[in-house]
Amino acid sequence: MKVRKIRIDFSNAKVLWAPDAPEFAQFWNATSSLLPYLEPFLNRTVRACMEALPAESEELRRDCKIFIAQESNHYRNHACFNEVLRAGGYPELEARELKLKADYEAYWKQKSQSYCLRYAEGFETTAPILSCFFLEGAREMRNPSIDDPTVDLWRWHLCEEYEHRHVCFHLHEALHKSYWLRLWGLCYASKHMLTYMIGTARYLIREDRKAGRIPDPWRSRLRFASVMLRTFAYTIPRLIRAAAPGYDPVNLSPPAGYRAVLDDAERLWGVEPDAVTTKA
Ligand SMILES: [Fe+2]
Ligand SMILES: [Fe+2]
């Protein structure tokens, strides 16, 4: 595990970065617009939990610090891409993001530390599955014409999600361990995030159809349904396995090309030498 200082240049990035699959791009763009609100919430939660760890949990405390640095790099890069997205002409996007921001502020102020940690753990359980889906399962990513900084952003981000996959789970084990409440956290986090991601993706695609950026609305609806069906068909069986007793994310296999993706991210977009390193 280590911190990589990545700064991606989005000046030539396209909103519809998967030219043959604009609905696939907009689903991930909607997810990108969530992250500058979600990931600071994860960091706040992990920082508070880290401070509550017993003195002997040195290794987990060190991993928490790397987690926070990695997430900070993620949402800063996504915020840069999101400016490109907003400039593409989606007037309702800001109101959607403000609602999301208010949700996370309310969780932080009104809910317990264990509630926030279970939300974070729910997302962190889903993230390595999405990492494998993006790098292995999504047929859109096998199209050789896909070449955009936004693809580099997602590949790097999702591989680091795999890299720090154990942090929230082990914090939950150390501080608030409860099998059933962990599953409940996975449910409420998934419901909250998916409602935003799918609703916002549908909104972005509607605007693209209105503006003529996506022709043939019926073909577009079928493609979006196909993206959603394949995403859920891939993730749901893996989420069920993650819900089984005895699950520990440390045992998950890495996505295809994991090391190469991380090395390429540093080579192409790294801006400083590594600051913090520790064992994987
Ligand atoms: Fe992240
Ligand atoms: Fe993460």
Q: How confident is the model at residue 145 (pLDDT cuts 50, 70, 90)?
A: confident
**Ligand of minimum distance to the alpha carbon of 121:** 2
Residues near ion ligand 1 (Cβ under 5 Å): 71, 74
Q: Taking residues 245-268, report their average pLDDT.
A: 94
**Ligand of minimum distance to the alpha carbon of 74:** 1
pTM of the model: 0.93
C-alpha of residue 124 to centroid of ligand 2, in Å: 5
CATH architecture designation of domain 22-269: Orthogonal Bundle (1.10)
Q: Taking residues 179-193, report their average pLDDT.
A: 95
- Least trusted range by pLDDT, from 83-87, 140-144, 243-247: 140-144
**Ligand of minimum distance to the alpha carbon of 64:** 2
pLDDT for the residue 139: 85
Q: How confident is the model at residue 278 (pLDDT cuts 50, 70, 90)?
A: very low
Residue 158 has pLDDT above 60, yes or no: yes
Q: How confident is the model at residue 280 (pLDDT cuts 50, 70, 90)?
A: very low
Residue 274 has pLDDT above 70, yes or no: no
Q: How confident is the model at residue 273 (pLDDT cuts 50, 70, 90)?
A: low
3-state secondary structure the chain: CECCCECCCCCCCCCCCCCCCHHHHHHHHHHHHHHHHHHHHHHHHHHHHHHCCCCCCHHHHHHHHHHHHHHHHHHHHHHHHHHHHHHCCCCCHHHHHHHHHHHHHHHHHHCCHHHHHHHHHHHHHHHHHHHHHHHHHCHHHHCCCCCCHHHHHHHHHHHHHHHCCCHHHHHHHHHCCCHHHHHHHHHHHHHHHHHHHHHHHHHHHHHHHHHCCCCCHHHHHHHHHHHHHHHHHHHHHHHHHHCCCCCCHHHCCCCCCHHHHHHHHHHHHECCCCCCECCC
C-alpha of residue 180 to centroid of ligand 1, in Å: 25
For residue range 160-183, what is the model confidence (pLDDT) as tens digits? 999 999 999 999 999 999 999 999
C-alpha of residue 165 to centroid of ligand 2, in Å: 7
C-alpha of residue 34 to centroid of ligand 1, in Å: 11
Those residues whose C-beta lies under 8 Å from the C-beta of residue 88, and which sit 6 or more positions away, are 15
Average pLDDT, the chain: 93
C-alpha of residue 70 to centroid of ligand 2, in Å: 8
pLDDT for the residue 196: 97
C-alpha of residue 219 to centroid of ligand 1, in Å: 32
